[in-house]
Amino acid sequence: MSGNGSAAATAEENGSKMRVIRVGTRKSQLARIQTDTVVAMLKTLHPGMQFEIIAMSTTGDKILDTALSKIGEKSLFTKELEYALEKNEVDLVVHSLKDVPTILPPGFTIGAICKRENPCDAVVFHPKFIGKTLETLPEKSAVGTSSLRRVAQLQRKFPHLEFKSIRGNLNTRLRKLDELQEFSAIILAVAGLQRMGWQNRVGQILHPEECMYAVGQGALAVEVRAKDQDILDLVSVLHDPETVLRCIAERAFLRHLEGGCSVPVAVHTMMRDGQLYLTGGVWSLDGSDSMQETMQTTIQVPVQHEDGPEDDPQLVGITARNIPRGAQLAAENLGISLASLLLNKGAKNILDVARQLNDVH
């Protein structure tokens, strides 16, 4: 194996050597399900290989009494996994793409982005409010979410509700909802609920016109060592071209805005008839001030790459050699252009104030 590939072990099976690929993941049930999904796809594509899953806790898993936006660390759910990757303890790690910063540490790259599931948010109601919507919940009902993005968008639309922080993995949050009588509803990503098999708990899906989603939400990312060509080749077959291009545009938008979880930034993307559409917005913490625009660009089809190998330059942390470079650059430029448009219209002031207020409270 080329690069720093010493972590890939071998196993004796039926007298012949079989490659063992070590896969890093967070310990939560959802993270394990997501990793199992990726490993199952890799096993199908590479039947001659064996995979070992290594679970570990991250900073974001350990700090549960503070809102994510207050911790001030961009790699809350990725740093420990990247450390294991750097030390050759694992060969690849599986993340929710929305947890991965738009700038990766040197030596790492996103080698695959799997086909995106529904990126929208969902409302899960306390059993006594089944059949309700956010609009029909009683006055001063408490709605739990750890996301500034969701609060900023929904507080303005539903002023009769009180939005409160809730932390923990999906199991913990649902238990808090059902048992503590503290929340009338909580807001979670549709994709996470679907992966856990909890579709029946979805009481309301928030479509982009109601609440735009987080950059990369609904997509799984596989992070690898950037120079580990064997592992890059192994995982790159998982790339879903449409998802990759949408997420490049979204990540470029966020990076150019210099946004993160400490400010309310949201997006909506779609591909239609060779056009990539990106809607992006920024909000003040209370949602009273906002700015939103939509732009589009032409994406050349077919999106399958037919040229020879290139030097694997990353775009917003992503290496996707099997997708035409021109299409990737068009997606990146779309994100940068939309961010520049919003910044020229005064978005920087909205974001600066949001950051300052978030630091104070």
Could you give the residue numbers annotated as active site?
99
| Angle at 173 (CA atoms; ends 209, 59), nearest 5 degrees | 95
Instruction: Please say whether the dihedral angle defined by the alpha carbons of residues 106, 35, 312 and 315, taken in this order, is positive or negative.
Output: negative
- Enter the tokens of residue 105: 């540490």
From residue 123, alpha-carbon distances to 30, 131, 143, 183, 186 in Å are 18, 11, 9, 12, 6
Cα separation of 331 and 77, whole Å? 26
Residue 33: its H or E element: helix 29-45
* CA atoms of 189 and 269, how far apart (whole Å): 16
